[in-house]
Structure 1
């Protein structure tokens, strides 16, 4: 079942308009999450909103937003006053300009969304805007209001649809000079750079997200299963970082190190790709059963379940 749209409105390019819906393109729901518990009782911790001075609990309908002018002095702003700001981007993504993708600094990227036609009408207008962006090899820049804030949004075609990526404003991006100014200027020899480039060529590949595994998530699953099975938890040995004393020797050793696994993998089995979504647990936790396992159980009811 598709998630609920975060936003519904219109996409407009000059006089061409179509109804659209904006959906989150990413999800964190597959990751393991923890509740906070009272160590003494094992009960869950409940958070309540209280008056900072009296300590009394405050009902949601009695809570208003406030901007702090001075210490302890606030200007109250109501929901109705915020709604009355009524920016056009609250209901319409107006395409303001088209830019080259290379012009967008990665530091400005926030998160991606899928932008789709909303309903049965407007597919023609949607297709015109999508295909024009694709044919011109550009990124469309507009604005949209999400969570009571106006965001810049960059639209680009993907398959039959459009992906919209929220962008930060300049005041939200810190200057690199604050961090990079004290980095020393170092003169490297040609031999060092040649060895480093050789290592890069040995490790060159095509980016495929599917071959990367979330090792921390896998370790969490293992930890939870061990605790449920009553096993003793033994701390793992942490990798030790070491300072490079002889950079040239380290580069030479790295070249040899990267070449050895390349030969070994020719005869070895092809590594298993990391699965999409959460790893299957040895002892499934209620509410965390992988969809793949559930589907297998339905289709093959008589099959024995694999033991871990």
Structure 2
């Protein structure tokens, strides 16, 4: 079952309009998450909204937004006042222009959404907009209001629908100069580049997300399973960083190391374990249930053998 839509409204290209719904394209619900507990009681910690001066808890209906002009001095803005400045993009994604995908700086990308027709009407208009973008091999740029903020959204076809990626505004992207200006200008020899290029060619592959493994998530699951089983937790050795003294020697060793790995990889590999559907399937069952069953079965078989020999 598809999740609830984050937004519903209309997609418009000039006079062509259709009702659409926007859905999150990513999810982190399968990741291990923790609650904060009181170490003394084991109870969960609950956060409450309190008045900073009186310390009294404040109910939601008495909470308003405020912009701080100076320390301790605010201008209050009500929900009704915010609704009065609602933009057209609150209900409509207006396509403003078409650009080449290569022109979009990756620093401006925020998060992806799926866009599809909403209801039984408007599929024809949606298909016209989608196939126009596909045929032109462009990305459509529009505007949308999410969480009371207007965002720029880049639309491109995917199968029968559209993928919309929210983009940052220029003032949200920091200049690279303040980080890169102190990087030294160095001269790289052709031999170094040749060796580095050889390493890259040996590691060349295709983008296949199914090969990615979240090692930290796996370590968290292993930690939880060990604690549930009552095992003693022993810290792993931390990786040590090494300073490169001879860059040329490091490149040569890298090439040789990759060659030996290639030979090892040519040997028949063990059949990989089937990837779990999610973290819950990887967590161990309640400790003791299966073990107790096996022990009972073993005792029963041993008892039967004793009676038979008697």
- TM-score, normalization by structure 2: 0.90
- 1:127 corresponds in structure 2 to 127
Displacement after TM superposition at 1:283 (Å): 1.6
- 1:45 corresponds in structure 2 to 45
Query: Does 1:102 find its partner at 2:102?
Result: yes
CA distance in structure 1 between the partners assigned to 2:115 and 2:104 by the alignment: 19
Structure with the higher helix share, 1 or 2: 2
Displacement after TM superposition at 1:268 (Å): 2.8
**Residues 174-226 of structure 1: per-residue CA shift (max 9 Å, x gap):** 00001000000010000000000000000000010001111100100000010
CA distance in structure 1 between the partners assigned to 2:124 and 2:274 by the alignment: 39
CA distance in structure 1 between the partners assigned to 2:275 and 2:183 by the alignment: 37
CA distance in structure 1 between the partners assigned to 2:149 and 2:94 by the alignment: 16
CA separation of 1:275/1:259 partners in 2, compared to 1, >3 Å: closer, same or farther? farther
- 1:32 corresponds in structure 2 to 32
Matched-pair contact (CA < 8 Å) for 1:211–1:274: no
Q: Tell me the SS of whatever aligns to 2:266.
A: helix
- 2:257 corresponds in structure 1 to 257
Moved over 4 A (4+): 270-276
**Residues 109-147 of structure 1: per-residue CA shift (max 9 Å, x gap):** 000000000000000000000000000000000000000
Residue-pair matches, total: 285
Q: Tell me the SS of whatever aligns to 2:241.
A: coil
Query: Does 1:153 find its partner at 2:153?
Result: yes
- 1:278 corresponds in structure 2 to 279
Displacement after TM superposition at 1:263 (Å): 1.6
Matched-pair contact (CA < 8 Å) for 1:156–1:162: yes
CA separation of 1:28/1:76 partners in 2, compared to 1, >3 Å: closer, same or farther? same
CA separation of 1:6/1:280 partners in 2, compared to 1, >3 Å: closer, same or farther? same
User: Can you give the 5+ residue segments of structure 2 that lack an aligned partner in the other structure?
Assistant: 287-310
- 2:118 corresponds in structure 1 to 118
Q: Tell me the SS of whatever aligns to 1:255.
A: helix
Instruction: Report matched runs for 1:67-86 at 5 Å.
Output: 67-86=67-86
CA distance in structure 2 between the partners assigned to 1:232 and 1:241 by the alignment: 28
Instruction: Report matched runs for 1:143-292 at 5 Å.
Output: 143-269=143-269, 271-272=272-273, 274-275=275-276, 277-278=278-279, 280-284=281-285
Matched-pair contact (CA < 8 Å) for 1:210–1:276: no
- TM-score, normalization by structure 1: 0.90
CA RMSD of aligned residues (A): 1.2
**Residues 258-301 of structure 1: per-residue CA shift (max 9 Å, x gap):** 1111121122326557555337324248xxxxxxxxxxxxxxxx
